[in-house]
Amino acid sequence: MSATASAKLKPPVGANDHIEGPAKAPVTLLEYGDYECPYCGEAYPIVKALQERLGDQVRLVFRNFPLAEAHPHAEHAAEAAEAAAAQGKFWEMHDLLYENQDALEDQDLVQYAEALKLDVPRFVKEMKAGAHLERVRADFSSGVRSGVNGTPTFFINGARHDGPFDLRSLLAAIEEAA
Amino acid sequence: MATETASKILPAGAAAPDFSLHSTPDQLVSLSDFRGAPLILAFYPADWSPVCGDQMALYNEVLAEFHKFKAAIVGISVDGSWCHAAFALDRKLHFPLLSDFEPKGGVARKYGAYRDSDGVTERALFVIDPKGTISWSYLSPVGVNPGADGILDALEALTSKK
C-alpha cells in the first residue's frame, strides 16, 4: 500500500485547464500554486526561465491550490485569476498576481482587472457572487487527491516532482522525464 | 532509505496500541476517545518546519474532506505541549497535536514510528477503523510530506467496506 509513493495526477490535464504552450510538447509541467505563498512567488520567475529555456518543448499548466487557512487572500486571488480567465486573460492575471504578492486585497484585484482592460463591472460582479469559487475548490480537491503536499507542487508528465524546484533541479527532472 | 526503515511500522490488521497523551498542558487525549469513528494518526518529525503548507498545515486545509468520512485527525510528535500550542496558534490549526514527550517517543515506538537515530518520530500515517484496528498505514521518507491522498483513499476503502 504505497498510494502516496508515486503520486499521480488525477484528473489528467484536460480542456478545462489553463495551458500555456503547444499541446504536442513532450513535457507537461503542471503547478499547483497559491498566489499568496512566498515559495510559489519564488517559483514564478524560475518557471518563466524554464519556459524560455525549453521553448515549445514544454507546456505549462496551472491549477489553484489556495491554502486558505494560512493565506487569507489566496482564495480570492485564485478567483480573480479565474474571473480573468472567463475573459480570456488568465495568464496575464496569473502573472500580475505573482508580481504583486504583497498587494492582494480585493481593491487591488479590481485594479489588476482594470490594468488588463477587462470588463470590470463583470469582473466585480463575478467576484462578489463567488462565481468561480467552485472551480477553485475543484482544483484544490483534485490536488489533494493527486498527492499535492504543499505549495508549490509540480507534476512532470503527470508524476509528482518531489525534489527542490530551483531551475537546475527542475530542468534535470524534466530531462529525465522527457 | 527504504532499507533503513522498511516495514517496521504496524501494518493494516494490527490492533492500534492505546495511548494517552497531552493535547494541551492540562488536557489528555486517548485512543479510546475516538472509538466509533475513523481516526487518522499522523506522526511527523517536528513542529515549525519552514515551509508553507507543511504536513500539518495541509491537513488543516483538508479537514473538511476528512470530516466527510466522519474521521478525526491528530498529529503526534515529540514536541512538548507548550510548543504544540504555539505552533497550532501560529498555523491556525483546527485539530489536536499530541505530545509524545514523556517517555519521549513512547507511543511512536509502539507504532514502530520512532527514529532512534534522530530522536524524532517518523513521517508515518495510520488510519484506524471505528473499532480500533489499523486499516491502513504508510511510512513516508522523512523528507517527503506524504500529502493526504493516501489517507483519503484509505477512508474511502473503509467506508465502502461497511
Show Cβ contacts of residue B63 under 8 Å, excluding neighbours closer than 6 positions.
B73, B94, B95
Q: How many other CB atoms are found less than 10 A from the CB of residue B140?
A: 22
Disruptive mutation site among A140, A144, A155, A169 for chain B (greatest number of B CBs within 10 Å): A144
Q: What is the pLDDT of residue B76?
A: 97
| Number of domains comprising chain B | 1
Give me the residue from A7, A68, A147 closest to B61, CB to CB: A68
Task: Mark yes or no for CB contact B145/A7 under 8 Å.
Answer: no
Residue of chain B whose alpha carbon sits nearest to that of A38: B52
User: CA-to-CA distance for A38 and A42, rounded, in angstroms?
Assistant: 6
Q: What is the pLDDT of residue B7?
A: 47
Q: What is the CATH number of the domain that holds B19?
A: 3.40.30.10
Residues in chain B with CB shorter than 8 Å from the CB of A34 are 52-53
Judge whether residue A45 has pLDDT over 70.
Answer: yes
Grid cell 504578492 in the structure block, residue:
A101
Q: What is the pLDDT of residue B162?
A: 64
- Segment A102-106 mean pLDDT: 97
Give me the residue from A1, A39, A67 closest to B12, CB to CB: A1
Disruptive mutation site among A6, A67, A69, A136 for chain B (greatest number of B CBs within 10 Å): A69
**Which fold is adopted by the domain A26-177?**
Glutaredoxin (3.40.30)
Q: CA gyration radius for chain B?
A: 14
Enumerate the active-site residues of B.
52
**pLDDT bucket at B96, cuts 50 / 70 / 90:** very high
User: CA-to-CA distance for A162 and A156, rounded, in angstroms?
Assistant: 10
What residues of A are in the B interface, CB distance below 8 Å? 1-4, 7, 34, 37-39, 65, 67-71, 140-141, 144-151, 162
Judge whether residue B2 has pLDDT over 70.
Answer: no
Query: What is the domain range of residue B90?
Result: 2-161
Give the pLDDT confidence of B43-82 residue by residue, as tens digits.
999 998 766 568 999 999 999 999 999 999 999 999 999 9
The DSSP symbol for B133 reads B
Task: Mark yes or no for CB contact B146/A149 under 8 Å.
Answer: yes
**pLDDT bucket at A73, cuts 50 / 70 / 90:** very high
Task: Mark yes or no for CB contact B53/A69 under 8 Å.
Answer: no
